[in-house]
Structure 1
Amino acid sequence: MRLNQKAVIAGITLFASASTVHADTWRYAHEEAATEVQGVFAQKFKEEIEANSDHTLQLFPFGTLGESADIMEQAQAGILQFVNQSPGFTGALIPEAQVFFVPYLLPQDEETLQEFFRNSKAINELFPPLYAEQGLELLTMYPEGEVCMTTKEPVRSPADLEGVKFRVMTNPLLVESYSAFGATPTPLPWGEVYGAMQTGIIQGQENPRFFLDSTKMYEVTDVITCIGHNNFTTAAMANKEFYDGLSDEDKTVIQNAAEAAFEYILDYQQELGEKSFDNILAAKPEMEINILSEEERKPFMATSEPVEAAYIEMTGDKGKEILEQMKADLEAAEAAAK
């Protein structure tokens, strides 16, 4: 597999070096399978690009070109024109993006959540310059669904996570968050998680509902617990040098494609999340799924304040500005959704 990845990367590197940034074939890599949320977003983006221009878009699902860190490096280097990556991984590059992992910041109400992602000033005004500093043009951010834990034993309180080696993305704030929850956070790339759960190297992990289903995480775990602490966020980006070199017409095609894919994926991810638990129980009837009550969630919610403080300490004044703007955006979204 590693040799195949190297061969593919070498091939597209050679193609990129022999072509201009205006090449008719553009390349787009994402972190999930073609049938998962990022893959469906990418396919819709591709359809819009190809229907409204002479360009074609070549898609590279998870694993084709390596892990998340690999495809980001390739996007920054201009080997890829487009990349889709969660702030969970981008947070190491853009620390302020870790704000999406402050527990209990994002709402669980789908209407409020969608209103926020459509109109957030933090997303549309504050984040683009930070991405630009890393050679990236932020096209859009969108939700992928409620995040839930999978563990070997039931989790009803932070005490139940004590001593549990819990896989997190390579994201400093997620380490802080799961430390506050009482677990022992263990950063791992996604490709190692199934095997680590299977062998007991780790005893827990978190992901959106649909991902627990599509990746068959239920095969190596016994309990799913939803504590309402987060909704998974991801971002579609372009290499900035490539994007800045495009004609105004091509830029408009890309922006329109990103908007169309964004609107399409909002309903798709909601429907996918709603079906996931039924699919899991059909495959493994003995699977225990617990949706904690508001009262049961309170001890977890109490940990959010120190995690917010850690976020501000990591990111300084800019991080504080983004956090405050996001809270204002969320208040506006809640009011608009009523």
Structure 2
Amino acid sequence: MSFFKRLKESVSRTKESVTQKFKSGLEKTSASLVGAMDSVFSRSKIDEDLYEELEDILIGADVGVNTTMEIVDRLRAEVKERKLKNPEELKPLLSEILVEILKDGGSGMNLNPDGLTVILIVGVNGVGKTTTIGKLAHHYREEGKKVLLAAGDTFRAGAIEQLEIWGDRVGVDVVRHQAGSDPAAVIFDGIQAARARGVDILLCDTAGRLQNKVNLMEELKKVHRVIGREVPDAPHETLLVLDATTGQNAMQQAKIFDEATNLSGIVLTKMDGTAKGGIALAIRRELKVPVKWIGLGEKTDDLQPFDAEQFVHALFVEDIEKESKEE
């Protein structure tokens, strides 16, 4: 059975609505990335020019130089080992490599099975952090979990009110202090309230300023200390929210936040608004941090758990469907 056929069968086992969300949300990236590859794979032979053109396409899709070099090197090695001659045969091989990179290390959430799960959300202003928290709250409420929000971004004007709007929208309470308060104190109160109310998941917002990296790091370290002191092994997840449309700037943000706190995962928002979704590969490979959630639209349920096979299937969907018809 071909890789494309196996990929389609694997994806078909998930809900059709989820598959459709990935397809529509990654439409721009698919058209740009895979569309450009058509000229590469329609060449008459596999040669150095083919590899160089493929490198240019991957780098242009924000896959990143280092990750692109690794992908192409692995492609060369497989072509040599399998003695492939037809460029068209590289499509499923490339898809297979992309899935392996994205699945490396897993992408599932680490939820505390014995009580309260504390999830710390970090990221600069404007990336969709507050919206992400609201959508995560909705997701876990739909799973039947009791959720509470802690408004730890006391720095940005309007941040607390925005979180409260989301709390009202999805039916979740918000623990808050006045603007300018100590974020660690807000998170502490959030933990106490979560325990008192029998909450399953506490989602903690944080300030996203980068103007003073030292202040950011010290603030996040303090929040970490408070959480770790109050709840063993917490935070169970520290998720960085990144705007996929910013491309390589997202990589720089990720590096700064990874220095400040031990990131466990990435939330990539606004994937439906970019043709450079290759940033997901760059982040996974170069930062060694898995993408755990992906924003595929503006609706509340358009934030989806990241699935490597769904992601690659959505990119190569036309090729997969074409091959299935031929078989």
| Same fold flag (TM > 0.5) | no
| TM-score, normalised relative to structure 2 | 0.23
Larger proportion of strand: 1
